[in-house]
Amino acid sequence: MIYVKAVQAVLPQSAPASQSEIAVTPNSISSITHFAAQGEERGPENGPVSTATMERVLQEKIRLCDILEEIADSLPENIDRARCLQIASVLVPLVRSTHLYEEQVIFPAYESVLAEGAEPSVLTRLRAEHFEDECYADELTEALLAAARGGEVKNAEAFGYMLRAFFESVRRHVAFEREHVLPAIRAAYR
């Protein structure tokens, strides 16, 4: 549960996105990374995976998407520069740590419950989407920082397109994991 607590520290659920404070520290990020790297969550070799933990992780990713959508909707006149700076500081580490968790804990469990000889292309695609989203998160961080530092937002249309492309991609990815990956794991360990 260390992972979930760390993510909640980044994106608290206790208040609406527009009111919440995003408090990220180097320690919280390192906790996420350390947890994922150590594979603290149970895996196929250690017993059933806690899909509830994964669902909480996915909820936080959706919450991140909701905040990015708020920023996109606020362009160009009503942009909250402080919010842009906050999200820029957590976007890449949050995305990378959640991907690390999924790839080290959830994907091996999913692979173990796929029918023997099944085409592993689904996992190949999901990993490729992780890589693409991480690259995009790097670019989006630069754009968020520019918006946070700048005066008038230059080319708000392009910035809005970047935001929407990212959160729509992440939402599609999360929807697939909710609809296919988690149910398969739950059914196997029921």
Chain residues that interact with Fe ion, rule: CB under 5 A: 102
| Six token digits for residue 178 | 């909710």
Nearest distance in Å: CB 190, Fe ion: 22
> Which residue has 């899909």 as its token pair?
51
The whole-angstrom separation of Cα 152 and Cα 158 is 14
Nearest distance in Å: CB 32, Fe ion: 15
Nearest distance in Å: CB 148, Fe ion: 27
Closer CB to Fe ion, residue 41 or residue 102?
Answer: 102
| Six token digits for residue 15 | 């208040």
CA-closest candidate to residue 174, choices 139, 126, 135, 134: 126
Q: Which uninterrupted H or E stretch holds 107?
A: helix 107-113
Closer CB to Fe ion, residue 83 or residue 99?
Answer: 99
Under DSSP, the state recorded for 14 is: S
Q: Which residues contact 173 (CB under 8 A, 6 or more apart)?
A: 126, 129, 133
Closer CB to Fe ion, residue 157 or residue 179?
Answer: 179
Closer CB to Fe ion, residue 58 or residue 147?
Answer: 58
Closer CB to Fe ion, residue 132 or residue 142?
Answer: 132
- How many CB atoms lie under 10 A from the CB of residue 121? 9
Residue pair 83/66 in contact (Cβ under 8 Å)? The answer is no
Nearest distance in Å: CB 130, Fe ion: 6
Nearest distance in Å: CB 115, Fe ion: 21
Nearest distance in Å: CB 108, Fe ion: 13
CA-closest candidate to residue 164, choices 143, 148, 190: 143
Closer CB to Fe ion, residue 127 or residue 164?
Answer: 127
